[in-house]
Structure 1
Amino acid sequence: MENINLRQVPYISNEKILSFIEGVHIKKNMSKIFVGDVVKIGVLIKEGNKERIQYYQGIILGKNNSGINLTISVRKVFQGIGVERKFLIHSPKFESIEIIKSSRVRRSKLYYLRSIVGKGSRLKQRFSKK
């Protein structure tokens, strides 16, 4: 076993090591998503020895964390019952995201939509500037 002189090894901070590891796994071709967007998310589902993509469409209620730990809460109403699901954006099981409609909101979390039903839950549409 060789003796390593620690004074000759350059110092690398923990933040640089983490950012390098995260940079390998972060998805770079993701579109910019905002709270209030109606999105269609493709998730990789494994059934037996087959894999398929299952789509989940709903409105983004909130975003949590940042970097490789970015998660979004998505809510949809299915047969009159509200269903919420959290997605880890940079997960290998997260296949795709498509923005169906963008809404103009003034809050970072839209949890109030849980208690509002019907026309009251509509959001104003945001138009992109070209």
Structure 2
Amino acid sequence: MKTKTSYTDIINKVEQEFLKTNLPNIEIGDNIKIKRAIQEGNKERIQISEGIVISKKNSGINTTITIRKVIQSIGVERIYLIHSPKIFGIEITKKSKVRKSKLYYLRTKSGKATRLKQRFI
């Protein structure tokens, strides 16, 4: 008896080839540095972005993280695809103790109110 393979099984098999295996365990509240390729004309360079992870969406190859950083008293958020070929490396600089899965409350706070308690490993 033949078993039918569904479309999702076929898609998952194809996506397995493109998943990165050397990623660190990124959690909400981590301060991270992301190295990604930037195209400027015909040259390509690596730019480092750093900030705190305020949300994470797990969905296979489409796993995304939202990074927040305050630059000159303006909050900047950026969403990154973790398994993108443009991302060369992710480095965790600091871990924080949090009790929520999304840290959207940091958007309304500023200054010392945005500090999170550090977690030591």
**Unaligned 5+ runs, structure 1:** 1-6
Name the counterpart of 1:12. Answer: 5
SS class of match (2:16): helix
Partners of 2:74 and 2:5 in 1: CA distance: 51
Name the counterpart of 1:103. Answer: 96
Pair 1:68-2:82 in alignment: no
SS class of match (1:19): helix
SS class of match (1:31): coil
Partners of 1:55 and 1:115 in 2: CA distance: 26
* Deviation of the 1:95 alpha carbon: 1.6
Name the counterpart of 2:40. Answer: 47
Partner AA of 2:5 in structure 1: I
**Unaligned 5+ runs, structure 2:** none
* Deviation of the 1:28 alpha carbon: 0.6
Partners of 1:113 and 1:12 in 2: CA distance: 44
Deviations 1:47-103 (A, max 9, x none): 111111111110000001321010000000111111000001111111211001000
* Deviation of the 1:13 alpha carbon: 2.5
Identical positions, percent: 55
Point out the structure with max Rg over C-alpha.
Answer: 1
Equivalent of 2:107 in 106, 111, 114: 114
Name the counterpart of 2:75. Answer: 82
Partner AA of 1:51 in structure 2: E
Task: Count matched residues.
Answer: 121
